[in-house]
Amino acid sequence: MGTLAIKRHHPDFRSTFDYDDDNTHIPKSSHPNSNSNSNSNSNSNSRVSRLHLYPTQMAPVSREIQAPCIIVRGFTGKRFNNSSNRLINNNNNSSSVKFVNFEKDDDIVELGYVDNNNNNDNSMQIDGFRFRDSGVEEIEVEMVESEKEEVNNKLGEVQEIRAKYRELDVKAEENRRVQVSASLESLSVGQRAEAGVPYYKRLLCDSVEKTDARLKRLSFDISFFEGKRALFEQLIPAKKDEDVLIEPFRPLDDDDLTMVANAFSNSSRRKVLVTHEESNITISGEVLRCLRPGAWLNDEVINLYLELLKEREKKEPKKFLKCHFFNTFFYKKLIGGGRTGYDYKSVRRWTTQRKLGYGLLECDKMFIPVHKEIHWCLAVINKKEKKFQYLDSLGGIDKQVMRVLAKYIVDEAKDKNGEDIDVSAWQQEFVTDLPNQENGFDCGVFMIKYADFYSRGLSLCFSQEHMPYFRLRTAKEILKLRAD
C-alpha cells in the first residue's frame, strides 16, 4: 500500500490554485458553482461568501519524537509505534487519514486529519482545503533493510543492557539482605536475650557498654599519668634550683670583693660602715668581722640582714612571699618573763598595725630566730600551710618552741583581730631534709639562709660548701643595705 503526499511543485498544483493579486493568501475556489465570468462586485461578494468555507483553526498538537525514528515528510496514512518501531496503517476501515506537517527535518509543526468520507470526487480536504487528484501523488514509504537491521541491533543492545541491570539489581538486593541479617546476628551476640527487645535498644546497650569500657580505659590512663606527673613534680624543685636559681648564687664582681675586703681589714675595725635608720642598727668594722670565715654571727648582723629581707619583699611583693621577720630578741623576751616560761604581754606591742604597717596574721610565714646559748636555730609559723616548723642545722628537736609559738599565735589573733583560732590540727614539723653544717661556727649563716630561701618560696638547695660565698654575699648586702 502506498500513502498520499502533496507535491507542491507539481505542474498542476499552480494551475489548480490561482491566487488573487490583492489577496494572495486566499485562493480562488475551484468549486463547480463558482462563476469565473461574473463582474467585480459579484467576485467580491463571492469572496466574502466563501469565507464560511474556511474551517475552524485547530490548535497544534506537540509531539515528542522518540529515537530511533524515521522522518516522514508530508502527510501519510501510516504512523510509527515507538514500542516496536513498526509502521501501522491507519487507513484500514477508517474514514480519516492522520496528517503530519514538517517545516524542518526533525520538528513537527502541526497535526491535522483528512476526511475521506466524500468519495464522489477525486479530491481530498486538508484543514478545509480541498485538493484535486492531479495534485496528489502516491509514494511508497519503505525502510531500507540496513536501517531496519541497525535499529533492531540497537534495540537488542538496549534490551541486553536492561537485562544486565536487572541482574545486578537482584544481586545487590540479595547482598544487602545478607549484610543486614549478618549485622543483626552480630549485634545480638553478647546483648540482652530478653524476648521482644527491639534491635535499636540492643544496639544502644551495646554502644553504652563500649562507651563504659572506653571511659574505664581513659580513667586508668588519667590516673596513671597523674601519678607519673606527681613523681616528676617531686624531682622538679631540685632541678629547678640548679637550673633557675641564679640570683641566690650570683657571683660577686671585683668591686664587691674589694669593698668587702676593705671592710674586713684592720683599718676599718673602728669605723662605722653603715647605719640602718629604720631599725637604728649601726654596723662597724668590728661587728662586720663576724662574717669572716670561722667566726660566729652576732645579733646586730643577723637583725640587720632580716630587716633587709623584709624591705626586699616590700619592694618586690610579686617576687617574694609576704613574710614577717622577728629579731633575735623576740623569742628571749617571749619566754623570759613569768613563772610559766611564757609572757605574751612582754611582746604584745611589737606587732601592732601602727608599728608594722600591716597585720601580722596577713603574712604567709613568720620567722623567729631561736638562740640556744652558742647555737642558732630557726622557727617558722607557716600560716599558709598551717604548720609549725623547726629548722636546726645540727638536726636538733625542741618541742617547747612548738608549744610556745602555738600559744603565741592564738593570743595574737585574739588580741589583734578578736578571733579565736584553733591550731590543734596544725602540723608540727621538725625539718630533717635540710642542709646541715659540718663545723661548729656556721650555724648563724645556715639560719639566715633558711629564712632567705623560704621567703623566696624555694627549697633549701645549698650545702656547707656554699657557706664561704654566703658570708661574703651577706657582708656585701649589709654594706649596700640591700638584700638581693
Cβ contact 361:413 at 8 Å: yes
Name the packing angle between helices 467-480 and 299-315 (round to 10°): 70
Whether the CB-CB separation of 386 and 426 falls below 8 Å is answered with yes
> How many C-beta atoms lie closer than 10 Å to residue 471's C-beta?
21
Q: Is the peptide bond before 68 cis (omega within 30 degrees of 0)?
A: yes
Distance (Å, whole) CA 360 – CA 381: 11
Please count the CA atoms within 13 angstroms of the CA of 284 that sit on its side-chain side: 8
Residue 13 is predicted with a pLDDT of 45
- Show pLDDT as tens, one digit a residue, over the chain (484 residues): 444 444 444 444 444 444 444 444 444 444 444 444 444 454 555 555 555 555 566 666 655 555 555 554 444 444 444 444 444 444 444 444 444 444 444 444 444 444 444 444 444 554 444 444 444 444 444 455 666 677 777 677 777 777 777 777 787 778 777 776 766 665 554 444 455 667 666 667 767 766 777 777 777 778 777 877 777 776 655 544 444 468 899 999 999 999 999 999 999 999 999 999 999 999 999 999 999 999 999 999 999 999 999 999 999 988 899 999 999 999 999 998 656 789 999 999 999 999 999 999 999 999 999 998 899 999 999 999 999 999 999 999 999 999 999 999 999 999 999 999 999 999 999 999 999 999 999 999 999 999 999 999 999 999 999 999 999 999 999 999 999 8
Residue 375 is among the residues annotated as catalytic for this protein = yes
The domain segmentation of the chain, as residue ranges, is: 3-142, 250-480
Are 72 and 100 in contact, with CB atoms under 8 Å apart?
yes
Residues, the chain: 484
Give me the catalytic one of 323, 324, 363, 392.
392
pLDDT, position 67: 52
DSSP three-state, residue 269: coil
Contact in structure between 133 and 140 (CB atoms under 8 Å): no
Give the pLDDT score at 103: 45
3-class state of residue 363 by DSSP: coil
Asked if 408 and 368 touch (Cβ cutoff 8 Å), the reply is: no
Residue 39: helix, strand or coil by DSSP?
A: coil
> Any idea which residue has 502541526 for its cell?
110
- Specify the CATH number for 250-480; select among 3.40.395.10, 3.40.50.2300, 3.40.50.620, 3.40.50.10310: 3.40.395.10
Catalytic residue among 375, 398, 461, 466: 375
pTM greater than the 0.85 cutoff: no
Using CA atoms of 400, 401, 402, 408 in order, give the dihedral in degrees to the nearest 10.
110
Q: 365-372 and 323-325 as β-strands: parallel, antiparallel, unpaired?
A: parallel
Is the CB of residue 284 less than 8 Å from the CB of residue 273?
Answer: yes
- pLDDT score, position 200: 63
Catalytic residue among 323, 363, 377, 443: 443
What DSSP line would sit under 183-213, residue for residue? HHHHHHTTS---TT--HHHHHHHHHHHHHHH
Q: Is 443 a catalytic residue?
A: yes
pLDDT at 168: 74
Quick one: DSSP state of residue 407?
A: H
What would the pLDDT profile of 255-303 be if each residue is shown by its tens digit?
A: 999 999 999 999 999 999 999 999 999 999 999 999 999 999 999 999 9
